[in-house]
Structure 1
Amino acid sequence: MSERQENLFIDFKNSSKEDWVKKATSDLKGEDVFKKYNWNFDDTISLAPYYDKSDLDDLKNIDAFQNRLILKENPTAENRYWENLQKIIVDNSKAANKQALEALNNGTDGIIFDLTQGKKVSMADLLEDILIDYCSISFLLGADFKQQLSAYTDLIESKGIDHQSVSGIVILSKDCQTTDNYLEAFKATVNFPGLLSLCVTSLEETASSSIAHLLQSAVYVINTLDTAQFEIHQIISKISFSLPVTTDYFGEIAKVRALRNLFFQLSQAYQAESFNPEDLHIHCISTIWTEEKYQPHANMLKSTTASMSAILGGCNSLLVEPEDYKNSLMVRIARNVSSILKEESYLNKTVDPAAGSYYLEVLTDKLASEAWQKFQKKVKQEKEEIQ
C-alpha cells in the first residue's frame, strides 16, 4: 500500500473483533450478541453476526480457489466472462430461428433451444444464418435426443465447421436423465470438446442437499462412462452442472462457489490431474418468480439479485427466465439483465469479487462441509443397498 493510500485511513482507528463485541454488548445492555443474533442457514448451518480475518485461519485451501475464474481464451478480454443465454421454446423451426437471430443480435451470447415440446424440428431451418462457430448453441432435449443430436452434428459436418469451435450444453429433460442416456449423449458428442453433453441437474430445495445430489449424480455418470472405457479426462471435461438460483443472495453465491470447490476435489479422487477448478462449467438459471406485492416487476427484481449471486459465485453461463415467454417485453427485460450487470454494473471487471469476504468465505466453507457429509452419506447408503 502506498503512502498516499495509507494516509487515507490515518484518521480511522483500527478496531478488533473484541472491540466490536464490547460495543455490541453495551448497546444490547449486557446481552450476548452471538447468542441473540446467531442464525441458521440451510437448516443446520449456524452463522454468527460478525466475522473478521481471524475466522479464516482455520479454513483450508482458501488461496487455492481465489481468482481462478479468469479464462485463458477470453472472447471479451475482460477479467470475468459468462455467457448470457436465452431459452427459446421451439414450436416451429423457422419461427424459433427468427427469435434466435433477434436474441443474438440484441445481447445474448448463445441460445438454448427447448426441443421438448414434441414438435417436428428441422435443424437446417432452426439454425439457418446462425454462426454456430461464433456463439453458444445449447439444447434442452427429451425422448428424441439421439435423433436431434445426430441431426445437429450432421449439420455441423455438412457446413465444414471446426469441431473445436462448437460450444454449448446438452441438457436432458428430467425423465431422460439416466446413465444409459448420458452415455448415448456422450458418444454422440465425443468429437466436439466444447459441447458439454453430461449436464447434471438437481431440484433439491436446500443448498447443501442440492450440491450433494449434483455430486452423487456426477459420480453415477462418471462411473458409467468409465465402465464403458472412456478416459477420465474426456468424461470430466464434458460434465457441467445446471442449477436454479433463488432469492437467497449470499446463500446462492456460496452455493455456486462450494459446488466448484467440491467437484474439483471429486475430480482429484478420479486422478484427473489436468482438471482445474476453473474448468468446470456451471450453468445458473434464474427461474420465474412472482410475488403479488412486488408486481408488475417482481420477476425483474428477483432475476437481478439472483443473477448477481450467480455471477459473483462464478457461474459460466446464465439464463434469466421471463415471466411469460410469449410477451416480447418480458423476454427483452430478462435478456437484458445480464447485459446491464456486465456493461453498467461492471461485474465483468473483477475475476472473483467474493474472494476474501470473511462472511462469504466462512459460509462457503461450512456449506461445502455440510454438502460433502451429505454426499458421503448418500454414497454409503447406495453401497449398502447394492450389497
Structure 2
Amino acid sequence: MSMNMKEIEFQTASYEQWKEEAIKALKGKPFESLFTKTIENITLDPLYTEESLIEKLGEQLEKQVSTIRSLTKQTSFTVAQQIAGNDAASFFANIEDSLSRGNEMITINSPIAFDWSEQDSEKLASYLSENSFKFIVASAEDAVLDVFKYIDEAKRKDVVGYIVSPETIELANYPNVRTFCANTIPFHNDGANAVQELAIALAQAAKLANTVEDFKAFEQKFFVQFAVDTQFFAEVAKLRAFKVLWKAFASAFGNEASAVPVVVETSVRSFSKYDVYVNLLRAGNEAFSAAIGGADVITVHPHDALTGVTGQSVRIARNVSLVTKEESHVTNVIDPSGGSYFIESLTADYVKEAWALFLEIEIAGGLEAYDINAHIEEVYATRMKQVETRKHSLIGTNIYANPQDGVATSENAQFAGVKRLAIPFENLRATYAQTGIKAAILTFGELKNYKPRADFVQGFFATAGIVAYQTAGFQTIEDATTWLASADYDYVVVAATDEDTKAIIPALLENKKQTAVLDAAGKYKEEEAAWTAAGLNGFIYAGQNIARKLSDVVMSVKGVQQ
C-alpha cells in the first residue's frame, strides 16, 4: 500500500530535545559555543523557534510585520543601472543601450568624465521626460543638474527621480523629484555596521526634517540610501528594520508614517581586485538580499567596478537585477522573509539597538557632535582583524587565493576611497611581487602526515601571490639539513607533524645559511624560546594575523640580507 507523503506527520521536537542532541554532537565543547556575536554585538542563537520568538516579542511581532508591510512602497524594485562614458557619444549610447536591455532608471554618478555642454543637458532632458532617474552629485554646481532647466514646464510634474547630494538641492516645480536624502553609503564605505547605518539614517533624517515646518511635505521629498553588503540575513533585517524605525521616527514628529523609498546599491566594501569574478557572486548575493529586504531601487555594481567596467561586466550586472526580478519570484509578495523566526528576531534587535543609538546621537547634538566617525573606526578595525585572521572569509583573497591571478592597474575614482577589506592583501601581493622573495616548504616524514600543514602553508603564501617550492618529504634529518644548507631560498617553512618538527628543528637551525629565514608550521609554546634564541624566525599557524605575519617576513628577509 503506497503512502501519501502529504499525509505524513513528523513529531515536533522541543528546543530542550534539540539542545540535548546538540550537546551530544558537540562532544565536550560547551553549548555556548553555538552562539555567535555579530559585528553589531548582537548574539545570534543556534536555533530560533516560534515559541522563542513569541516569548521575545509578544504582541510586538504582529506590529512589526504589519508595519513593514504597510510601509513597503511596492513589491517589486526598479532596476537602476549606473551609466558611464568617456565622452558624450559613448555616454548617451550607453543610456540608450541600457534602457533597451532592461534598465529602468537612468543612474548617473557625477561629475561626468567629460565636459558637459548645453547640448548634452538638452539631450538628457529628453530622456528624463520619459524615464525615472537617480543622480549622485557633489554639489548644487554640478553640471548635470543643468538638465532641469531644459525640461518643458508642462512635463515637470511628471518627472520622477532622486538626487543624492551632501547638501539638499533646491529644485522648484518638480514635485516628484526627491532631494532630501539620508545617505548612509559613505559611512558604510568607512566600515559602519548595520546598527550604525540605521541610526545614521535617522539622525540625517532628523536634521533634514527640522529644516521644514511641515513633516508630510518633508516626507514626500525624502528617501534613504543604503549599501547592501554580503552578510545576507543581516542585510535583509537591516532594510526591514528601517521601516519599523521610520514609523517610530514619524510618530516622534507627531505624524503617521508613509512609505519612503529605500534606494540601494550593492556594496564594494568586500570587493577585491584579485579573483574579480568572486565579486560577481558577492554582488548577486547582495542584490538578492536587497530584493527580499524590500528595496525599491537597486543598483548592482559590475564585478570589475574597482578598476573600470566593460560592456560585458555591465551587462552581467544588469542581468543580476533582471534575473532577481523576473525569475526568482521574490517580488511576487510583500516582505518575502516576513514570519521567519530568525529574520524577525534580528530585525527586532536592529530596531532596538539602532533607536537607542539614534537617541544617543540626538542627545549629543547630532552626528558631528557625537563623533560617529570615531565609533565607525572601531568597527572597521574589528572588521580588518577578522579578515586578517581569517575569522571572516574573503574568498579568493584571504582564503582560496589564486597566486597566479593578475590584476588591472587602472583605478576607478568612484570607489578609490572605500575602506575595502581586501586592501591589505592587495598591498601584500604588490610588496612580494616587488621584493621577489623566493619561498619554500621543507616537508618531512610521510606525505599523509605532513600534507595538511603543507597545504595550509601554501594557502597562507597564496594570499600574497606566492607559489612556494615544496620538497618531497625527507626521511632523514641528515637529508633535510643537507638540502637546507645548500637551498637557494630566502624564506623556508618547515611543515611536519609536531613530533617530527621537534626532532628536526634544532639540526636545521645549526645548518641553515645566515641569509635564509626559517619558520615552523604550528604552535610550539614550550620550545619557542629555545628555538628563537637559536635562530628560528617564528611560526605559522591557524588564527594568526596573516597580513601582519607576511609583512614581518619581508622585514626579516631584508634584515638578514643586509
TM-score range, shorter chain: 0.7 to 0.9
Post-superposition Cα deviations, 1:233-269, rounded to whole Å, max 9, x if no partner, equal: 1111211111111111111111111122112210121
What is the aligned counterpart of 1:114 among 80, 101, 109?
Answer: 109
Residue pair 1:242, 1:283 contacting (<8 A) in 2 also? yes
After superposition, residues 289-300 of structure 1 pair within 5 angstroms as: 289-291=270-272, 295-300=275-280
**Cα shift at 1:119:** 4.5
**Corresponding residue for 2:208?**
221
Q: In 2, Cα distance between the equivalents of 1:137 and 1:362?
A: 35
After superposition, residues 1-387 of structure 1 pair within 5 angstroms as: 8=6, 10-29=8-27, 32-33=30-31, 35-57=32-54, 58-59=56-57, 60=60, 61-68=63-70, 71=73, 80-89=75-84, 91-117=86-112, 119-122=114-117, 124-125=119-120, 127-128=123-124, 130-145=126-141, 148-149=144-145, 151-157=146-152, 160-161=154-155, 163=157, 165-172=158-165, 177=166, 181-182=167-168, 185=169, 187-189=170-172, 191-202=173-184, 203-204=187-188, 205-223=192-210, 225-226=211-212, 229=213, 231-273=214-256, 275-276=257-258, 279-288=259-268, 289-291=270-272, 295-322=275-302, 323-324=304-305, 325-382=308-365
Structure 1 length-normalised TM: 0.82
Task: Return the letter of the residue paired with 1:269.
Answer: A
Residue pair 1:286, 1:319 contacting (<8 A) in 2 also? yes
Q: In 2, Cα distance between the equivalents of 1:192 and 1:265?
A: 28
Post-superposition Cα deviations, 1:254-312, rounded to whole Å, max 9, x if no partner, equal: 11111221122101211232x33xx111111113353477x241121001101111111
**Cα shift at 1:385:** 6.3
Residue pair 2:85, 2:94 contacting (<8 A) in 1 also? no
Post-superposition Cα deviations, 1:156-181, rounded to whole Å, max 9, x if no partner, equal: 225x3251x32111011xxxx2xxx3
Q: In 1, Cα distance between the equivalents of 2:116 and 2:254?
A: 41
Task: Return the letter of the residue paired with 2:297.
Answer: S
**Cα shift at 1:41:** 1.3
Task: Return the letter of the residue paired with 1:290.
Answer: F
Alpha-carbon distance change, 83 to 214 in structure 1, aligned in 2, over 3 angstroms: same
Q: Alignment partner of 1:62: what SS?
A: helix
Residue pair 1:200, 1:218 contacting (<8 A) in 2 also? yes
Residue pair 2:85, 2:113 contacting (<8 A) in 1 also? no
The size of the alignment, in residue pairs, is 351
Task: Return the letter of the residue paired with 1:50.
Answer: L
**Cα shift at 1:114:** 2.2
Alpha-carbon distance change, 331 to 339 in structure 1, aligned in 2, over 3 angstroms: same
Larger mean Cα displacement after TM superposition, 363-372 or 199-208 = 199-208
Report the aligned-residue RMSD.
2.7
**Corresponding residue for 1:3?**
none
Residue pair 1:255, 1:364 contacting (<8 A) in 2 also? yes
Q: In 1, Cα distance between the equivalents of 2:245 and 2:260?
A: 11
Q: In 2, Cα distance between the equivalents of 1:262 and 1:212?
A: 9
Q: In 1, Cα distance between the equivalents of 2:369 and 2:227?
A: 30
**Cα shift at 1:315:** 0.6
Residue pair 2:125, 2:151 contacting (<8 A) in 1 also? no
**Cα shift at 1:375:** 1.0
Percent identical across equivalent pairs?
23
**Cα shift at 1:11:** 3.2
Q: Which has the higher contact order (CA 8 A, sep 6+)?
A: 1
Task: Return the letter of the residue paired with 2:179.
Answer: S
Structure 2 length-normalised TM: 0.58
Residue pair 1:101, 1:130 contacting (<8 A) in 2 also? no
Alpha-carbon distance change, 18 to 188 in structure 1, aligned in 2, over 3 angstroms: same
Task: Return the letter of the residue paired with 1:111.
Answer: I
Q: In 1, Cα distance between the equivalents of 2:132 and 2:181?
A: 15
Q: Alignment partner of 1:67: what SS?
A: helix
Q: In 2, Cα distance between the equivalents of 1:145 and 1:271?
A: 35
Alpha-carbon distance change, 219 to 129 in structure 1, aligned in 2, over 3 angstroms: closer
**Cα shift at 1:359:** 0.5
Q: Which is greater in Rg?
A: 2
Q: In 2, Cα distance between the equivalents of 1:385 and 1:320?
A: 34
Larger mean Cα displacement after TM superposition, 326-335 or 10-19 = 10-19
**Cα shift at 1:341:** 0.9
Q: In 2, Cα distance between the equivalents of 1:124 and 1:292?
A: 37
Residue pair 1:243, 1:284 contacting (<8 A) in 2 also? yes
Larger mean Cα displacement after TM superposition, 7-16 or 19-28 = 7-16
Q: In 1, Cα distance between the equivalents of 2:159 and 2:337?
A: 31
Residue pair 2:156, 2:174 contacting (<8 A) in 1 also? no
Alpha-carbon distance change, 213 to 136 in structure 1, aligned in 2, over 3 angstroms: same
Residue pair 1:303, 1:320 contacting (<8 A) in 2 also? yes
**Cα shift at 1:124:** 4.9
**Cα shift at 1:30:** 6.6
